[in-house]
Each structure stands twice: as structure tokens, then as C-alpha cells.
Amino acid sequence: MLLPLAGGLGTRHLHERLLLMSAPFLDDLPRFVFFTGKGGVGKTSLACATAVALAEQGRRVLLTSTDPASNVGQVFGVSVGNRITPVPDVPGLSALEIDPEQAAEAYRERIIGPVRGLLPEPEIASMTEQLSGSCTTEIASFNEFTGLLGDTEDTRGFDHVVFDTAPTGHTIRLLQLPGEWTEFLDRGKGDASCLGPMAGLERQRTEYARAVEVLGDPALTRLVLVARAQPSSLAEVARTSAELADVGMREPHLVINALMPETGSGDRLATALREREQRALAELPGPLAGLSRTEIGLLPVDTMGVDALRLLLANPAETSLGAPSVRTSAEPAAATDDASLPDLVDAIEADGNTGLIMCMGKGGVGKTTIAAAIAVALAARGHRVHLTTTDPAAHLTRALPEAVEGLETSRIDPEQAVADYRGRIMATQGKGLDDAGRAVLQEDLRSPCTEEIAVFQQFSKAVAASRRHYVVMDTAPTGHTLLLMDATGSYHRQMARQMGAAAHYTTPLMRLQDPAQTKVVIVTLPETTPVLEATDLQDDLRRADIEPWAWVVNHSLFAAAPTDPLLTARAAAETGPVGTVYDQARRVAIVPALADEPVGAAALLALSTSSIVDLQEIP
């Protein structure tokens, strides 16, 4: 049996008392609260825990997820969608998940519905096509988002609106959009062909301006930056703080989540994890050093359900409460080498010396590390390999800081992609235009939707290159990647209509659907929430006729065989989630939690060439 925390902290009275000393970011909360940070750092758990704490103090709270891969409903064990839904176990708390597809469908209907039956069917079909791409999905999602920042019928009854946001890159994009669209409309929109009819945007002008005002007022909005005590995570929230300051969101609060306490167990892995985290905190990036800071300790249980959420905010990292008192009947897990990353590399190589390997999954699960390890292993076997990323917050150079023979690395940078796209369009379509025509075209290219088109084109080039050599792609966190998949599907449908049934053509989507060309590797952690999200991702891919090739369960404590009581408790809890993976996947590789991060070519090569047992001995 597990005793989650010493002292019986499950009671509501003690829970409320402990909040006062352990979670200063809750002090004097304004009406709107945003949680953001790198994927996998615990934004959803902290947002849910905050919403529960506020509701149990008698506040009326709306918990909203802007993450296209939201799992708020899973945390509470209720079905939550694109409609405000009360949480039965927490009086005063309601939840909402902004579903991009539902939002896009409602947006299309608001524009097309009034003219359906008034215009000829071909014109209705043309409008529908113009509003079927990722641009419309993005517009519709942030329309839902900005609507929640106003005094609307949906939000009027709530004292607080708590936002659980998508991983950082997508969130920055979302929070920049109200200002970008306001400026775009104020300047004059050109013909904005990628948007379809503009009436929907024109009607939102006042709402966007209100959103910009609310986001920039600390009396109305609090930004909570969530991080793990890891250099990449801390560096990302430092960048996030600076970028969101540019859209007026200042005075953020910093939360360091899931810190390993000093347990005194002598376990090598526990000691290494704690030393690594304390070193990262000692080297905190300058922009974060002066921020108000809350440190929260690692729990021995997943934060699923209201009881676990209460414990989260009552678990300060450096007090007597920070080292959970754990009893468990579980013996230290035995390491196994019957499923490993080298097996996947062998299978990839056996299929030839070209192809696309896409590492996909929730943010923070280690996609970059797994992608880099596969790429380094293939290059070491003499293959030509291109390692790239679609993640706006990518860290390829940190995982692989040195050059490797036979391995080329790149990043699909949204800003550079947009600059290249604009330059190309002006040099071609704008070549024969007069000054007035070029000015209109330039204005059209300032549309925020241009980024989606430009990034898709760069992605398509990387997919096409996999016909000549291996391309290993580290993708953005799930929600952002699904929007990219939506753009891929829209382009495929457009090409199919234009080319006709008799024509021969190959679109990027067709390459992704071809198992001889593309291997999708879903990366997850051995925890309930990441596995549920990975299962949802697999379902989404299958709906697009893309069959995942393999799953990688990363950072497994069970495979690492710890002796520390806290880590042993967490290792024992992996049995259920990992069993779910084996039920879902055709191929599975288990990668153990390591005392030292696999950074650099040598460590990555060891990760992709050694058995699990051997990895435990790597210094």
C-alpha cells in the first residue's frame, strides 16, 4: 500500500492551510490565469489543481484548455468538450476544452449558413473549400479563446477563468494572434485569399482589441510559467517570458514542478536526478532569477483525480512534507532487455536506406532525444541521414551539439519559413505587377495565416527528401503537429479535386500513408496521462489512414530498477500504463530512466545500440 504523503494531507482543511505556505503564485489571483511552458512539465496538473483550490475556497471557476491535445477531462474522469461542463466532484468548477475541429466547423457555419440557399452551389462549395484549411482552424480556435477574455454570457458567471494552454510554441502563437489580427485588419487586409470570406474577422475586431487589453493588464491576467528543473525547460520559459512580454504579458510567476526531494536512500538514480535538478536551479537563466517562484515536490502518484490534485499544491519541495513517506510491497523492478531502441533501429535499416521516420507525441516525453538517437545510430551504420524538427521550441542542438559524419541537421524555423515564402511569392506572382498591385500582395502576405502555409511547404520538402535518404523528424508536441497534419490533408484534398481521378500525383499525405515510405514512432512516458494522449494521437492518425509503426516508452523507472522508495513507488505505478501500450502497439521499445542525460553523439549512440541492462552501467 502507498501512503502518498506524510501527515494525512488529503483533508480539505489541511489542504487549504498548506496552500498558503506552499503556493505563493495563488496569492491575490486576478480573474484570468494562464499556465504555460514546455510540454510535459505539468501545466495541466497545476491548472487543474489551481482550479480545484479556487473552487474549494468558494469561487466559481471555469477551467479552459486551449491545447488541441487536451486531457483535462481525463484528469477529472469526466467527458469535457467544446461546451462548458460542470465537474461533478468539485462544486463551483466547470471545464471547457476548445476543440479546434468543432470550433472550425462552427466558424464555417456562421459564415456560410446565412448565404446557403441564396448563392449557387458552386459558390458555396468554393467558400467551403476556402474555409477548410488550417488557417480557418487557427482563426476559429483563437476566436473561442478571445471570447473567453471578455465579459460574455459564457464567462459572466465565473470569478476566475483558468487557462491550461498548449505547449509553449503553440501558446505564444495563440497569444500573439489577437494583436496580429487587430493590426492586420487596421492596416487593410488585401484580398487575404487564404482566409476565405473575411466577414467573420471583421465582426471580431472589437473582441480582439479587448483581448489585447486584458492580456496586458496584470490586474486582470496572471501568467504562470511552469518548468521542470532541467536546462532546456528553464531556457524555454525564459524565452517565453521575453516573447510574451512583447505582447504585453508581464510580471509572470515561475513554478518549478516535480522536484526530486532528498530521501537519503543512497539510490544512484535518485541522487543523480536530485543533483541534476539542483544544478539547473543554481544556474537559473537571468530573466527568471528575479521572478516570484514556487517549488513543488515530486509525488509518488500520478496527478489523476481530485485527491491527487489537492496533494500537488500541498507538496512543497524543500520542507518536511517534500519527502513523501512511502510504503510499498513492490520489490525493486528487474531490468529487462527484451524490448529496446536498438531493435527498432535494426528494423528501420532492414527496410532499406531511405524513408521518413517521424517521432510524434506529447511535449516533454523525449521526442528530440529519441529522434536524435535513431539518426545518430543510422549515420553510424554508414547511411546518409537528415535530422530535422518542426517544433517551434526545438532543442536539437542541445541533444546533439556536435557534428556527426553522414548526419545533416536542420530546423523548420517559422520566421525563416515565412521570410522565404514571402520573398518567393513577391519574386514570382509580384514580378509583373505595378506598384499598387505589389503593395496589395505584400499586405496579403502579412496575414498571420501565411506562417501556416510557409511551414507546411518546408515540411513537404522534408517529406519529399526522404525518397533519397533517411529523414528523421522530431515533431512539435501533439496538438501543433495535428494542425500541421490538417494542413497536409487540406492540400491533398485540393490536389485531388484539381487533378481528377485519372491523373497520377503524389501528395505529402500519400507519402505519410505509405508504410514503405514513412514510419511513425509514437513516443510516450510510462504514465497514465501521456499514454492516454498517445492513444488519442494514434486514433487521430488512423483516421487519416496513417498507421503508427512503433511506440517508444521513454524514461521508464521500472526498467531502471531503482531502490529509492519514492522512485520505486512510481516505478510500480508504471505497470498499468505500459500494459496499455502493449495492448495498443505493433512494436514497443522501452528506454530506461538514466542517471545522466543522453546528450552528445556518444551518449545517443549508446542509447540506440545498448541493451537496457548495459545502459544501467553507462557512467
- Residue 326 domain-assigned (yes or no): no
Q: β-strand 85-86 against 550-556: which pairing, if any?
A: unpaired
Mark whether 45 is an active-site residue: yes
- Residue 483 confidence (pLDDT): 53
Q: What is the mean pLDDT of residues 568-578?
A: 91
Sheet of 85-86: strand order equals 85-86, 93-97, 61-65, 160-164, 32-36, 221-227, 253-259, 292-297
Asked if 360 and 288 sit in the same domain, the reply is no
H runs (alpha helix) in 246-386: 268-282, 286-289, 306-313, 341-350, 367-380
Residue 456: name the closest of 429, 424, 489 by CA.
489
Asked if 307 and 347 sit in the same domain, the reply is no
Grid cell, residue 292, equals 516570484
Q: Given the residues 22, 39, 66, 67, select the one marked as catalytic.
A: 67
The partner residues of 119 in beta bridges, in order of sequence, read: 116
Mark whether 529 is an active-site residue: yes
Q: β-strand 93-97 against 85-86: which pairing, if any?
A: antiparallel
Give the pLDDT band (50/70/90) at residue 232.
confident
- Residue 269 domain-assigned (yes or no): no
- Residue 245 confidence (pLDDT): 77
- Residue 197 confidence (pLDDT): 37
Asked if 566 and 478 sit in the same domain, the reply is yes
Q: What is the mean pLDDT of residues 217-222?
A: 88
Asked if 366 and 295 sit in the same domain, the reply is no
For residues 295 and 319, the answer to whether their CB atoms sit within 8 Å is no
Question: Per-residue DSSP letters for 178-201?
Answer: HHHHHHHHHH--TT-GGG---HHH
Q: What is the DSSP letter of 90?
A: S
- Residue 223 domain-assigned (yes or no): yes
- Residue 488 confidence (pLDDT): 55
- Residue 319 domain-assigned (yes or no): no
Mark whether 40 is an active-site residue: yes
Domain containing 408 equals 341-413+459-615
Asked if 256 and 355 sit in the same domain, the reply is no
Higher-confidence position of 145 and 254: 254
Asked if 401 and 527 sit in the same domain, the reply is yes
Mark whether 361 is an active-site residue: no
- Residue 435 domain-assigned (yes or no): no
Ranked by mean pLDDT, which of 112-121, 174-183, 367-376, 477-486 comes out on top? 367-376
Give the pLDDT band (50/70/90) at residue 166.
low
Q: Given the residues 22, 45, 388, 490, select the one marked as catalytic.
A: 45
Query: How many Å apart are CA 236 and CA 228, to the nearest integer?
Result: 10
Asked if 404 and 541 sit in the same domain, the reply is yes
Q: Domain containing 297 — which CATH number? A: 3.40.50.300
- Residue 1 confidence (pLDDT): 28
Give the pLDDT band (50/70/90) at residue 154.
confident
Question: Taking 60 as the threshold, does the pLDDT of residue 600 lie above it?
Answer: yes
Angle between the N-to-C axes of helices 306-313 and 43-56, in degrees from 0 to 180, rounded to the nearest 10: 90
Give the pLDDT band (50/70/90) at residue 61.
very high
Mark whether 563 is an active-site residue: no
Asked if 302 and 381 sit in the same domain, the reply is no
Q: Given the residues 22, 490, 524, 529, select the one marked as catalytic.
A: 529
Question: In the block, which residue shows the cell 486531457?
Answer: 71
- Residue 337 confidence (pLDDT): 41
Question: In the block, which residue shows the cell 531511405?
Answer: 354
pLDDT digits (tens, 9 = 90+) for 523-538: 999 988 788 888 888 8
- Residue 439 confidence (pLDDT): 81
- For the chain, the average pLDDT equals 77
Higher-confidence position of 60 and 458: 60
Question: Taking 50 as the threshold, does the pLDDT of residue 388 lie above it?
Answer: yes
Mark whether 38 is an active-site residue: no
- Residue 156 domain-assigned (yes or no): yes
- Residue 40 domain-assigned (yes or no): yes
Higher-confidence position of 529 and 139: 529
| Contacts for 307 with CB less than 8 Å, ≥ 6 apart | 10
Asked if 158 and 286 sit in the same domain, the reply is yes
Question: Taking 70 as the threshold, does the pLDDT of residue 182 lie above it?
Answer: no
Higher-confidence position of 322 and 445: 445
Q: Given the residues 22, 36, 44, 240, select the one marked as catalytic.
A: 44
Q: What is the mean pLDDT of residues 112-118?
A: 80
- Residue 149 domain-assigned (yes or no): yes
Task: Name the least confident of 339-353, 425-439, 489-503, 560-574.
Answer: 489-503
Mark whether 362 is an active-site residue: no
Higher-confidence position of 376 and 221: 376
Q: What is the DSSP letter of 113?
A: G
Q: What is the mean pLDDT of residues 395-408?
A: 87
Give the pLDDT band (50/70/90) at residue 361.
confident
Domain count, the chain: 2
Asked if 65 and 142 sit in the same domain, the reply is yes
Question: Taking 50 as the threshold, does the pLDDT of residue 548 lie above it?
Answer: yes
What's phi and psi for 139, nearest 5 deg? -60, -45
With a pLDDT cut of 90, the percent of the chain lying above it is: 25
Helix, strand, coil shares of the chain, percent, nearest 5, are 50, 15, 40
Give the pLDDT band (50/70/90) at residue 198.
very low
SS3 511: helix
- Residue 443 confidence (pLDDT): 72
Distance between the two ends of the chain, CA-based, in angstroms? 34
- Residue 94 confidence (pLDDT): 94
Asked if 403 and 296 sit in the same domain, the reply is no
Question: Taking 90 as the threshold, does the pLDDT of residue 254 lie above it?
Answer: yes
In this prediction the pTM is 0.73
Grid cell, residue 457, equals 511547404
Asked if 306 and 403 sit in the same domain, the reply is no
Whether the CA torsion 61, 39, 358, 531 is positive or negative: it is: negative
Q: What is the mean pLDDT of residues 309-329?
A: 56
Q: What is the DSSP letter of 332?
A: P
Q: Given the residues 40, 133, 363, 489, select the one marked as catalytic.
A: 40
Give the pLDDT band (50/70/90) at residue 351.
confident
